[in-house]
């Protein structure tokens, strides 16, 4: 599964990139995030409550930043254990480009689930991941920039 | 007894009263004082190394009594689960037998593999605590695609089975088959996948166990089809609890279809842990667990070739099959694709030479074992698909090609080239009757009429044979089976004239309480309401082998008849004494002993009463009491056979297949209760239609996640998916059991998939479609149509 999208953010690239590395911003934007603690510049622990189809579970796990290339982008990955519900993992490659004083944020998300979530909700993962990506980047664009000029997540 | 309740009567099921009024007693209904509840934490990964398990936080959760992991069971030296049937490969070596620990030790091998057991004061607390167990996995690549299981580079499931190969087995002489193919005028080739199925018994698996510290006795209540066999396995191989200290009770059980034959880890664990926690433990699978962990069925990849001469006579058959075993070998898994499959490849035909090569593969999926029909549906699907395909290629009528190759009635007993000797049968009248009932002659006009409505109508045959009534113990032993296959019965005739039949068979839907009561009522002349069938408890019934392989009546019923004969023989002696007659002159008719040519008579009840109150009784030569035991070991399998004809309509716009007619004519030998037999056939056909059109267990080929793990994604057939069936029967009595009966429990499911799929292929043939994979879901059919245009 692969979900792609783009957001235009009314802020310069450096500011956007800094926000992408700010645990407080991430915490506010990750849907269902109950806690996010920074362990290092590239590692965080997180607790996220998610609902996929009929399964609702709290996932505890790690968030890792990699391929860091300021201010052009990075990769953010998460992997969480949801106890008896199974696990979820996924990541997003984020690319930032300048466009007339604003920043175009392009993302490419992949996600995988296992255990009971996959068993009862496999068909729903695509839709759920898209919704979560929209929520995250939409909120991110909103909190970092001025109100978004054009917000549109488009399928690849 | 009377015609209303005797052999051949449509007696309503005695057990239905309690089932339909909600008063059945299932394992989960058990009220156990001070009970605790188990929850099993399952692996969410198909293949991973367990780096660590932290139960610290979970143990501190409310209500938690104890948490066990694989390490605890290993430390306590709990044995692994066994595979009870040794199959020797071409190399003469026994199959590879990788360990099957009751809980994963350092590696998980399928989604659902057991990682920890939480015991708590309530089921909810146990589940909540499981949530708090932290397992650190190192995820590894999984081997999920059966067709690639042996490929180089495919991850290995067990080091003990290099290349994932459990055995490479063959039957038949390959050179003879090659020689036959060299002479063939026509060869039909076929590649098939027999789709993987999930059993879905109405009652999920459940277990409850109690340990009595005072006596050291264990009691296990389990949803088992064969409580004595379960006890034997637990005692001798897994837990080491002596058999006489372990009582296994299988009370009312809501369906099994094979999936409850096997010894599973959950029932093992609750028994083991019950003594550790000092309180009873209960566990009932959630439906999602059933999907993940009940032994699945079928799952073959097969290539077959049929050689025919210019007249359509079969010259030879070769079959190459890869059978999925899953991640561990379940109790009888190894036998299913060999002795229950390849030995059936002659079908109803005189094919003179057959060679089958079967390779059993490990994959990172749930274990696969016997499921209604167990090997025989797979064999029937291969034979009946390739025969219909050959008919289509040769532009012959499919019935005509079958008839041309049927084993003639005068050839019985018939020795097939694949080990079995069919005892009896007469196939041509069966197909004739089925064609008449299905109005085969009128089919083309129905096809034309359907076409006028834009529908594609097709008709399909499936002429099956099965070997069931397992089985002669000597043969089972020669083939590697680890148990005897007789059955036991005890008839306790009480002083007041009522009768208890204690059987080693187990009913989980088969209606033994009615059928067995009919037998005894008929034989001994006791009113049916005075006959009670007792089963499913190792403490009260004689050791028995349980119910599977359509064996209960042919083997268990025969044991009951033997015990009844002993009752009559003893009663005869008592009656002779009471009538002051010679035993040789005493006859038994309709419940009464008589002296031929006189009006002297003694009802059986009076003889029995005398046996318990032996005031006037030949004590010097006869023991008091009327309690007779019998064990019956059959001299051969029984061979039910029949023909099903299915008629479908396909909507080419949507790919939806509708079964519009379905006819089944069977030879089950003599029939005790036609209503019950029809019920078994109905259920079997529906299961077969389910396999053909809907049911499919799907694992994600990369991650090994079970993606058809709920009723949202795994479609079960419903009443409105099938038409009203047309059933008929022909009788050739089984020559070697006292009732002349064969088995009827699996036949419907054995024959139906091929009948339905042949009908689908016939419907799509005008479009040039030559292959539709099973199940023929709307999507699959639509793709076949539009890819084939």
End-to-end CA distance of chain A: 11
B98-115 burial code (b ≥16 CB/10 A, e <16):
bebbbbbeebbbbbbbbb
Q: Residues 113..132 of A with a Cβ closer than 8 Å to B: which?
A: 113-116, 118-120, 122-123
Question: d(Cα B647, Cα B443) in Å, to the nearest integer?
Answer: 9
Opening angle at CA B171, ends B170 and B176, nearest 5:
110
Q: Which residues from B are below 8 Å from A1, CB to CB?
A: none
Q: Is B237 helix (H, G, I), strand (E, B) or coil?
A: helix
Q: What is the DSSP letter of B20?
A: H
On the question of pLDDT at A122 being above 80, the answer is no
Query: Cβ distance B330 to B365 under 8 Å?
Result: no
pLDDT category of residue B83 using cuts at 50, 70 and 90 = very high
CB nearest to A84's CB, from B130, B709, B713: B130
Residue A58 token pair? 């709290």
Instruction: Decide which of A61 and B455 is more confident.
Output: B455
Question: Is the per-residue pLDDT at B789 higher than 80?
Answer: no
pLDDT for position A146? 61
CATH architecture of B32-140+202-255+260-293: Alpha-Beta Complex (3.90)
In a mutational test of the B interface, the residue from A84, A110, A112 whose CB has the highest number of chain B CBs within 10 Å is: A84
Question: Which residues of B fall within a CB distance of 8 Å from A116?
Answer: 44, 288, 709
> pLDDT at position A153, please?
45
User: Looking at domain B300-471+636-788, which CATH architecture does it have?
Assistant: 2-Layer Sandwich (3.30)
Measure the CA–CA gap between B396 and B401, rounded to whole angstroms: 7
What domain range includes position A10?
3-152
Phi-psi map region of B612: left, alpha, beta (phi>0 left; psi -120 to 50 alpha): alpha
Which residue from A84, A112, A120 is facing B710, i.e. has the nearest CB?
Answer: A120
- Which of A83, A112, A119 has the CB atom closest to B709's CB atom? A119
Under DSSP, is residue B739 helix (H, G, I), strand (E, B) or coil? coil
Given pLDDT bands bounded at 50, 70 and 90, which one contains residue A149? very low
Could you tell me the pLDDT band of residue A150, with boundaries at 50, 70 and 90?
Answer: very low
CA distance B757 to chain A (A): 27
CA triplet B319, B321, B322: central angle to 5 degrees? Answer: 170
Which residue did the predictor score with more confidence, A86 or B335?
A: B335
Q: Is the pLDDT of residue B361 over 60?
A: yes
CB spacing of B111 vs A112 below 8 angstroms: no
Chains A & B: contacts with CB separation below 8 Å: 60
- Contact between chains at A118 and B705 (C-beta distance less than 8 A): yes
First to last CA, chain B: 63
Cβ-defined contact of B288 to A86 (cutoff 8 Å): no
> What confidence category does residue A74 fall into, taking pLDDT thresholds of 50, 70 and 90?
very high
Token code pair at residue B255: 């369906």
Rounded mean pLDDT of A86-112? Answer: 91
Of A113, A114, A120, the CB nearest to B288: A120
Cβ(B157)–Cβ(B98) below 8 Å: yes
Q: What is the Cα–Cα distance from A21 to A26, expressed in whole angstroms?
A: 8
Report CA-CA distances (Å) from A10 to A6, A17, A72, A142, B557.
Answer: 13, 13, 16, 9, 83
In A53-133, the DSSP E strands lie at: 55-69, 73-81, 87-99, 102-114
Percent of chain B with pLDDT over 90: 98
Phi, psi of B527 (to 5 degrees): -55, 140
Residues of chain A contacting B131 with CB distance shorter than 8 Å: 83-84
Q: Does A155 have pLDDT greater than 70?
A: no
Residue B616: band (very low, low, confident or very high) from pLDDT cuts 50, 70, 90: very high
Using alpha carbons, select from B38, B32, B28, B30 the residue that is nearest to residue B120. Answer: B38
Give pLDDT, residue B1. 47
Residue A145 is predicted with a pLDDT of 79
- Count Cβ atoms within 10 A of the Cβ of residue B623 and give its class: 0-12 exposed, 13-18 middle, 19 or more buried: exposed
| pLDDT per position as a tens digit, B718-769 | 999 999 999 999 999 999 999 999 999 999 999 999 999 999 999 999 999 9
Residue B302 · residue B344 · CB < 8 Å: no
> Does residue A120 have a pLDDT over 90?
no
Question: Given pLDDT bands bounded at 50, 70 and 90, which one contains residue A151?
Answer: very low
Q: B364: distance to nearest CA of chain A, Å?
A: 14
Which chain B residues are Cβ-neighbours of A87 within 8 angstroms? Answer: 44-45
User: Which of 28-67 (A) contact B at CB < 8 A?
Assistant: none
pLDDT tops 50 at residue B111? yes
- In the predicted model, is pLDDT for residue B442 greater than 90? yes
Name every chain A residue with its beta carbon within 8 A of the beta carbon of B712.
Answer: 120, 123
Mean pLDDT of B80-106: 97
The pLDDT-based confidence of A3 (bands split at 50, 70, 90) is confident
Q: Write the residue in A81, A112, A115 that is nearest to B42 by C-beta.
A: A115
Topology (CATH level 3) of domain B16-21+486-632? Aldehyde Oxidoreductase; domain 4 (3.30.365)
| Chain B residues closer than 8 Å to A86 by CB | 44
The answer to whether the peptide bond before residue B501 is cis (omega within 30 degrees of 0) is: no
Question: Phi and psi at residue B532, in whole multiples of 5°?
Answer: -120, 135
CB atoms within 10 A of CB A142: 16
Q: Please, what is the average pLDDT of chain A? A: 86
* Inter-axis angle of helices B778-788 and B747-764, nearest 10: 30
Question: Can you tell me the distance from the alpha carbon of B544 to that of A39, in angstroms, rounded to the nearest whole number?
Answer: 63
Looking at chain B, the domain(s) classified CATH 3.90.1170.50 span 32-140+202-255+260-293
Handedness of CA B41, B44, B47, B48 (dihedral sign): negative
Can the peptide bond before residue B413 be classed as cis, meaning omega within 30 degrees of 0?
Answer: yes
φ and ψ of B165, to 5 deg: -95, 120
> Residue A1: pLDDT band by 50, 70, 90 thresholds?
low
Averaged pLDDT of chain B: 97
- Indicate the range of B2-11, B50-59, B413-422 predicted with least confidence: B2-11
- Cβ distance B699 to B693 under 8 Å? no
Asked if B659 and B593 count as a contact pair (C-beta separation under 8 A), the reply is no
Least confident of A151-155, B26-30, B216-220, B705-709: A151-155
In B505-557, where does DSSP find H-type helix? Answer: 512-524
Closest C-alpha among B294, B364, B337, B349 to residue B45: B364
At A147, the pLDDT band (50, 70, 90 cuts) reads low
Distance separating alpha carbons of residues B320 and B357, to the nearest angstrom: 5
From the number of C-beta atoms within 10 Å of its C-beta (0-12, 13-18, 19+), residue B306 rates as buried
B→A contacts (Cβ < 8 Å), by residue, are 39, 41-45, 111, 127, 130-135, 288, 291-292, 700, 703, 705-707, 709-710, 712-713
Supply the pLDDT for residue A156: 41
Residue A83, both tokens:
């106890």
Between chains, do A115 and B131 touch, taking CB under 8 Å as contact? no
C-beta atoms surrounding B782 within 10 Å: 17
Split at pLDDT 50, 70, 90, the class of B2 is low
pLDDT above 80 (res B401)? yes
Shortest alpha-carbon distance between residue B157 and chain A (Å): 19
Burial class of residue A35 in the structure, from the number of CB atoms within 10 Å of its CB (0-12 exposed, 13-18 middle, 19+ buried): exposed
Burial A94-119 (b: 16+ CB within 10 A, else e): bebeeeeebbbbebbbebbbbbbbbb
ipTM of the complex: 0.81
pLDDT value of position A88:
87
Q: Do B541 and B490 form a contact (C-beta atoms < 8 A)?
A: yes
Cβ-contact B686, B664 below 8 angstroms: no
Query: Which pLDDT belongs to residue A81?
Result: 83
Q: Which residue do the tokens 């038994």 mark?
A: B588
Please say whether the dihedral angle defined by the alpha carbons of residues B335, B337, B341 and B343, taken in this order, is positive or negative.
negative
Per-residue pLDDT tens for B260-277?
999 999 999 999 999 999
What part of A 96-115 touches B (C-beta under 8 Å)? 112-115
CA distance linking residue B715 with residue A122, whole number of Å: 15
Total count of domains within chain A = 1
Contact B709 A112 (CB under 8 A): no
Q: By the 8 A CB rule, do B463 and B384 touch?
A: yes
The percentage of residues in chain B with a pLDDT greater than 70, rounded to a whole number, is 99
Mean pLDDT of B636-642: 97
Distance CA A11, CA A21 (A): 15
Spell out the SS3 assignment of B450-503: HHHCCCEEEEEEEEEECCECCCCHHHHHHCCECCCCCEEEEEEECCCCCEEEEE
Question: Which residue from A87, A119, A122 is facing B292, i.e. has the nearest CB?
Answer: A119
Q: Which pairing describes strands A43-52 and A33-38: parallel, antiparallel, or unpaired?
A: antiparallel
Domain ranges in chain B with CATH number 3.30.365.10: 16-21+486-632, 300-471+636-788
Which of A81, A116, A123 has its CB closest to that of B288?
A: A116
Residue A129: is its pLDDT beyond 90?
no
What confidence tens digit (pLDDT) does each residue in B502-540 have? 999 999 999 999 999 999 999 999 999 999 999 999 999
Q: Is A86 on the interface with B (CB under 8 A)?
A: yes
pLDDT single digits (tens) B777-787: 999 999 999 98
pLDDT of residue B105: 96
Record: contact B706-A123, CB cut-off 8 A: no
Residues of A in contact with B45 (CB under 8 A): 87, 114-115
Q: What CATH number corresponds to the domain at position A14?
A: 3.30.530.20
Chain B CB contacts of A77 under 8 Å are none
Q: Count Cα atoms within 13 angstroms, Cβ side, for B750.
A: 34
Residues of chain A positioned with their CB less than 8 A from the CB of B135: 81
**A105: which strand partners?**
A7, A96
Nearest to B429 by CA among B312, B309, B313, B348: B348
* pLDDT above 80 for B324: yes
Torsion of CA B400, B402, B404, B410, to 10 degrees: -130
């Amino acid at each position: 599964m692969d979900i792609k999208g783009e957001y235009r953010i009314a802020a310069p690239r450096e500011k956007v990139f800094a926000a992408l590395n700010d645990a407080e911003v991430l915490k506010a934007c990750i849907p269902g995030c109950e806690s996010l603690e920074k362990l290092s510049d590239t590692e965080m622990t997180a607790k996220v409550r998610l609902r996929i189809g009929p399964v609702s579970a709290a996932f505890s796990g790690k968030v890792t930043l990699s391929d860091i290339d300021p201010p052009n982008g990075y990769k953010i990955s998460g992997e969480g254990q949801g106890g008896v519900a199974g696990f979820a993992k996924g990541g997003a490659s984020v690319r930032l480009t300048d466009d007339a004083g604003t920043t175009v944020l392009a993302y490419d998300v992949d996600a995988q689930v296992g255990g009971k979530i996959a068993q009862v909700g496999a068909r729903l993962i695509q839709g759920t991941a898209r919704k979560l990506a929209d929520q995250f980047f939409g909120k991110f664009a909103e909190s970092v920039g001025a109100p978004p000029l054009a917000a549109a997540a488009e399928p690849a | 007894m009377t015609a209303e309740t005797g052999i051949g009567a449509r007696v309503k099921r005695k057990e239905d009263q309690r089932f339909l009024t909600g008063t059945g007693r299932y394992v989960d209904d058990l009220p156990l004082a001070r009970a605790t509840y188990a929850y099993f934490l399952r692996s969410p990964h198909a293949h991973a190394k367990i780096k660590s398990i932290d139960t610290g936080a979970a143990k501190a959760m409310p209500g938690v009594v104890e948490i066990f992991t694989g390490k605890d069971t290993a430390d306590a030296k709990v044995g692994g689960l066994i595979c009870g049937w040794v199959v020797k490969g071409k190399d003469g070596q026994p199959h590879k037998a990788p360990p099957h620990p009751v809980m994963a030790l350092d590696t998980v091998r399928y989604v659902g593999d057991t990682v920890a057991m939480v015991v708590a004061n309530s089921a909810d607390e146990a589940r909540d605590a499981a949530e708090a167990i932290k397992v650190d996995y190192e995820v590894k690549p999984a081997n999920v695609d059966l067709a690639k299981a042996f490929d180089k580079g495919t991850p290995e499931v067990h080091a003990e089975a290099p290349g994932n190969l459990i055995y490479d087995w063959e039957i038949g002489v390959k050179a003879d088959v090659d020689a036959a193919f060299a002479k063939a005028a026509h060869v039909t080739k076929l590649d098939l996948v027999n789709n993987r199925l999930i059993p879905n018994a109405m009652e999920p698996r459940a277990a409850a166990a109690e340990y009595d510290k005072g006596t050291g006795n264990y009691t296990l209540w389990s949803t088992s089809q064969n409580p004595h066999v379960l006890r034997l396995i637990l005692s001798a191989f897994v837990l080491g609890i002596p058999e006489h200290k372990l009582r296994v009770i299988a009370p009312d059980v809501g369906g099994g279809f094979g999936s409850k034959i096997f010894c599973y880890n959950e029932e093992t664990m609750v028994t083991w842990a019950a003594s550790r926690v000092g309180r009873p433990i209960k566990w009932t699978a959630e439906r999602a667990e059933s999907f993940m962990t009940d032994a699945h069925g079928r799952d073959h990849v097969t290539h077959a070739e049929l050689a025919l001469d210019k007249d359509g006579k079969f010259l030879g058959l070769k079959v190459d099959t890869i059978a999925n075993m899953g991640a561990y070998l379940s109790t009888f898994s190894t036998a299913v694709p060999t002795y229950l499959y390849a030995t059936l490849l002659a079908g109803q035909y005189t094919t003179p030479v057959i060679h089958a090569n079967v390779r059993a593969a490990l994959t990172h999926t749930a274990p696969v074992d016997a499921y209604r029909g167990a090997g025989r549906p797979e064999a029937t699907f291969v034979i009946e698909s390739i025969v219909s395909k050959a008919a289509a290629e040769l532009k012959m009528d499919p019935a005509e090609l079958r008839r041309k190759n049927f084993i003639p009635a005068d050839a019985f007993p018939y020795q097939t080239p694949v080990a079995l000797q069919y005892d009896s049968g007469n196939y041509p009248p069966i197909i004739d009757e089925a064609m008449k009932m299905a109005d085969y002659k009128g089919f083309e006009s129905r096809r034309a009429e359907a076409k006028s409505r834009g529908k594609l109508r097709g008709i399909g045959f499936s002429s099956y044979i099965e070997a069931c009534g397992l089985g002669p113990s000597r043969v089972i032993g020669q083939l590697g089976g680890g148990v005897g296959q007789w059955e036991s019965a005890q008839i306790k005739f009480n002083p007041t004239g009522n009768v208890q039949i204690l059987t080693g068979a187990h009913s989980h839907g088969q209606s033994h309480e009615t059928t067995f009561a009919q037998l005894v009522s008929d034989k001994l002349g006791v009113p049916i309401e005075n006959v009670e069938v007792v089963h499913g408890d190792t403490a009260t019934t004689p050791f028995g082998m349980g119910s599977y392989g359509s064996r209960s009546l042919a083997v268990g019923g025969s044991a009951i008849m033997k015990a009844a004969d002993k009752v009559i023989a003893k009663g005869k002696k008592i009656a002779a004494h009471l009538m002051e007659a010679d035993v040789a002159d005493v006859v038994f008719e309709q419940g009464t002993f008589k002296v031929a040519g006189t009006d002297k008579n003694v009802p059986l009840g009076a003889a029995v009463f005398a046996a318990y109150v032996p005031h006037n009784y030949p004590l010097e030569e006869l023991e008091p009491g009327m309690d007779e035991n019998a064990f019956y070991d059959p001299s051969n399998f029984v061979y039910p056979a029949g023909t099903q004809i299915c008629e479908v309509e396909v909507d080419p716009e949507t790919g939806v297949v509708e079964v519009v007619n379905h006819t089944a004519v069977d030879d089950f030998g003599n029939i005790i209760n036609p209503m019950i037999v029809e019920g078994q056939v109905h259920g079997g056909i529906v299961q077969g239609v389910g396999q053909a059109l809907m049911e499919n267990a799907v694992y994600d080929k990369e991650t090994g996640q079970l993606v058809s793990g709920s009723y949202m994604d795994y479609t079960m057939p419903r009443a409105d998916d099938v038409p009203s069936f047309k059933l008929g029967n022909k009788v050739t009595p089984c020559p070697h059991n006292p009732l002349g009966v064969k088995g009827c429990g699996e036949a419907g499911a054995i024959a139906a998939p091929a009948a339905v799929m042949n009908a689908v292929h016939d419907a799509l043939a005008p479009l040039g479609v030559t292959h539709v994979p099973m199940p023929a879901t709307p999507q699959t059919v639509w793709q076949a149509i539009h890819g084939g245009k």
